[in-house]
Structures are given as C-alpha cells and as structure tokens.
Chain A
Amino acid sequence: QKEVEQDPGPLSVPEGAIVSLNCTYSNSAFQYFMWYRQYSRKGPELLMYTYSSGNKEDGRFTAQVDKSSKYISLFIRDSQPSDSATYLCATGAGNQFYFGTGTSLTVIP
C-alpha cells in the first residue's frame, strides 16, 4: 500500500467553480500535511501546510484534514484559469516526505 494515494484526474472545470482535490494516507503517525502546486515544466511550489485536523484557509484555498479517516482535501473557491496546474498532496515522517502522484487541473475560461 502506498503511503499517499491521490486521484490523478485529469480534472476540468469552468472558471468560477469550486474545486475539490483529495488524498488518502496510510500511516496514522503522519502529522504534517502539505499541498503543492506545480505548473508545467516548473518545480513544485508550496501552497499550504497544516498540522491539525480541521480546516486551514488562505484566500481562495482551504486545506482540510480528517485524521480519523486519514483523508486530506484542498478546496479552491472561485477557480481561475491561472489555477490550471498539477496539485500534489504530501505528508512526512522521520527523515522523509511522501507525495501523491498529483492531480492535473484545468480551469476553462
């Protein structure tokens, strides 16, 4: 079983839609959760991080963690064409990070 599972998509939504991106993880010892955005031919860029269960909001982005079900989500409100990218979830333990395979998102104007 992989440490982190993520639906690869692709996901295509109209501009202004609410986007929901999801991951599951296997190890209840994971405590720190991150979302990265990766534009084509660029490195992953840290978007959000959180320690705790519940929601963390930053502008149009909300990260949600449910440790009881080992489920993490990223919600994007009022999606924009500039949000078109691949989104990777990540967590870690010890000396390593574990990444999902990424979900490709296209926001259509």
Chain B
Amino acid sequence: NAGVTQTPKFRILKIGQSMTLQCTQDMNHNYMYWYRQDPGMGLKLIYYSVGAGITDKGEVPNGYNVSRSTTEDFPLRLELAAPSQTSVYFCASSHLGGGNTEAFFGQGTRLTVV
C-alpha cells in the first residue's frame, strides 16, 4: 500500500550544487505533479506530467527540470541550487486531471540550501 513515495526525506545542499528528488507511484496514475510548499504560501505547482514522455510547466518552474520516462517515476532536478529553493517539495499523482478526480501526495522532501 505504498502510494506515492518520495526520496530523500531531508537534504542539505550547498549553493550551486545539483540534486534529483525522486518520486514514484504504484497506482498506475497518468498524472503526476511537483509542488513546493513555503510557510504561509500554500502549494505552488512547479511541473506536471499527463503521461510518460509528456511534461509541462506549472506556476514556478524556473530553476527546475523534470522528466517522465515511465508511468511510475517523475524525478525533479535542481541544477544550480539557490537559497530561494529552500522549501518542502511534494510529489502528487492522480488518475485523471484536476476537476475529475482527487490527488494523492507523498510525504515530502525537506530541502535546505545553504
């Protein structure tokens, strides 16, 4: 009963370093999403994917990249980490697009850039 799994749970990066946040889901969902959550700011959509091989930008894509080579996996890459990317990152998935179904979330990755 795994659902959406994110790794790592915590990470500290130095400015300019790069890393990949991993996300995998076992519900065979077509749609996957990456959000960041900052205190008092709610969830902001970074990127989303409607299926393998298809990705699109959300509200705050700058500084991030994604790929979707399989239905299960949707990694998020930070190429040159900046302090502004300190946040909690959540991956989510849904069977259909927004407005037709509910989304399920992972437990989050807490990232600090110093």
| A interface list, Cβ under 8 A from B | 8, 29-32, 34, 36, 41-46, 49, 88, 90-102
Contacts and interface: CB of A to CB of B under 8 A. Distances in A.
B58 interface: yes
Which of B4, B50, B103 gathers the greatest number of chain A CB atoms within 10 Å?
A: B103
Interface of B: 4, 31, 33, 40-43, 45, 48, 50, 56, 58, 90, 92, 94, 97-108, 110
* Most chain A beta-carbon neighbours within 10 Å: one of B98, B100, B101: B98
Contacts of B107: 42-43
Given A31-B99, A95-B48, A97-B103, A43 B90 contact: yes
A81 to B, nearest CB: 22
Contacts of A46: 102-104
A95 B31 contact: yes
Nearest to B100: A32
A90 B103 contact: yes
11 contacts: A31-B100, A32-B99, A34-B102, A42-B107, A92-B100, A95-B56, A96-B48, A96-B98, A97-B33, A98-B98, A99-B43
In the A-B complex, the 4 residue pairs with the smallest Cβ-Cβ separation, listed nearest first, are A92-B98, A101-B42, A43-B105, A92-B99
A44 B99 contact: no
B106 A43 contact: yes
Contacts of B90: 43-44
Contacts of A97: 33, 45, 92, 94, 98, 103
